[in-house]
Amino acid sequence: MATSSDFLTGVIEGFYGTPWTPGERFELFAAMPGWGLNTYLYGPKDDLHHRARWRQTYPPAEAEHLREVIAGCQARGIRFIYALGPGLDIRYSEKGDRLAIQQRFEQLLSLGCRDFCLLFDDIPDQMAPADREHWGSFASAHAGVANEIFRWVRPHAPEGRFIFCPTPYCGRMASRQLGGPNYLATVGRELAPEIEVFWTGPEIISREITVPHLRELQGLLRRKPLLWDNIHANDYDGHRFFCGPYAGRPPEILREVTGILTNPNTEFALNRIPFQTLGAFVRGQGGSWDPRAAYLAAVADWLPKFATTGKPLTAEDLALLGDCYYLPFELGSGAQSLLAQVMHVVSQPPAQWGAAGVELRERVVRLKELCFRLTELVDRSLFAALNRRIWELREEMDLLERFLTHHSDPAQSGQPFQSDFHQARTYRGGLVAQLQRQLVQHADGSFTPRDPADPDSQTARLFLP
């Protein structure tokens, strides 16, 4: 049954970026049971002791914090999983390195942890000669080390879960033989059957995850996978966050996996809708699933966090804002409609805009004003999480408003449009913006150079779904 405690449903703090604060973690734990979430995995990439200093045990102050985090989870019936990522520089044939993993897990056992994970993701796809001679392959080295650590942990935590993340953790990586030929088949054959295996789907960030895809994977792994879902992760894109619903996965996948854990936005305050809708998806136990209805329900529940010192925001306001930052592969309906209207109007001569131009300007002004009202949020941590992204949206709305106003004025007919507030090389400027104009990405994922006849092209690496 999907809602049993055996089915893992919850949150991975596993992103690249500033780890969450103690206060944010405890706020999460307090809310998780109400959302139907039962698992928290600790593995922030920028905790130095998670990857870079994996051979060293935690110093006393950090160990004490982890003890408090573990106790906070257990007090609420939440499973705490500790993840370690030794793959950057581990020597698989060195007994001392395998002992260092045991010592770290021994420290965590003393702090109350009973569930563990070894991550071999995002690491160099190569082995030292001595390691290759000892193990024969990357996959055998990973499976062998994981098995040894699992066998050591098992007597200390017989009811605990033990999880493994392979080097090729999505379909694209596997098809390109990351980790070597037959990596997944080797892991499936050699890894102890009690050890669970993480998987992100066809891609690192998967638009869809289907039952046939998962069943094909089961044939290789000889077990059901545990989903590490990056659908709401944003650590790869500093311009966006994602607060749309859990989507692109049919309810039937609940029978094909041992759990679903989400690796979300780095900004804790922006994850309410992702967490709440994931819980609702799993609680549905494989029945019908309406992502948009779940989204609007979560928006209504999130609205009280958006109290302001000025004019109150409405659920409609918040839904529109969320539509602008919906999911990696789609905008919400309000943002889709706005974008389509912008593309239609600005592609026409101003003389033909008519009522469509007036309506568009009204919509642009409304969204611009909504962005300004967010500066009045009482919850300043929420404002801080939103601020840079919302400022960028506000600037685009301001530019559009000025553009529409300029070309709607008969006195400006034939005059080029410029904005005193969007100076060239400062607005949309910098090295990254310039580099993004050099390669244009198309809908099939391919890249081509920008048109050399257009040296000042503003074409960015963006495409419409």
Which of these is catalytic: 122, 235, 301, 379? 122
Look at residue 464 in the predicted model and tell me its pLDDT: 39
Is the pLDDT reported for residue 462 higher than 70?
no
Look at residue 455 in the predicted model and tell me its pLDDT: 52
Known active-site residue 122: yes
| 130-173 pLDDT per residue, tens | 999 999 999 999 999 999 999 999 999 999 999 999 999 999 99
Is the pLDDT reported for residue 442 higher than 70?
yes
Fold classification of 315-412 is Methane Monooxygenase Hydroxylase; Chain G, domain 1 (1.20.58)
| 208-244 pLDDT per residue, tens | 999 999 999 999 999 999 999 999 999 999 899 999 9
Is the pLDDT reported for residue 55 higher than 90?
yes
Look at residue 382 in the predicted model and tell me its pLDDT: 97
Is the pLDDT reported for residue 314 higher than 70?
yes
pLDDT band at residue 465, thresholds of 50, 70 and 90? Answer: very low
| Helix 183-190 and helix 138-153, axial crossing angle in degrees, nearest 10 | 30
| 10-40 pLDDT per residue, tens | 999 999 999 999 999 999 999 999 999 999 9
Q: Do domains 8-303 and 315-412 have the same CATH topology?
A: no
Give the rounded percent of residues in the chain with a pLDDT score beyond 70: 96
Domain 8-303 in CATH 3.20.20.80: yes
Across 375-399, average pLDDT: 95
> Residue 399 to residues 293, 320, 337, 393, 417: CA-CA distances in angstroms?
33, 19, 19, 10, 10
Q: Hey, where are the domains in the chain?
A: 8-303, 315-412, 427-465
Look at residue 4 in the predicted model and tell me its pLDDT: 55
Residue 453 vs residue 456, higher pLDDT: 453
Look at residue 458 in the predicted model and tell me its pLDDT: 46
Where b means 16+ CB within 10 Å and e means fewer, 219-235 reads: ebbebbbbbbbbbbbbb
Give strand pairing partners of 86: none
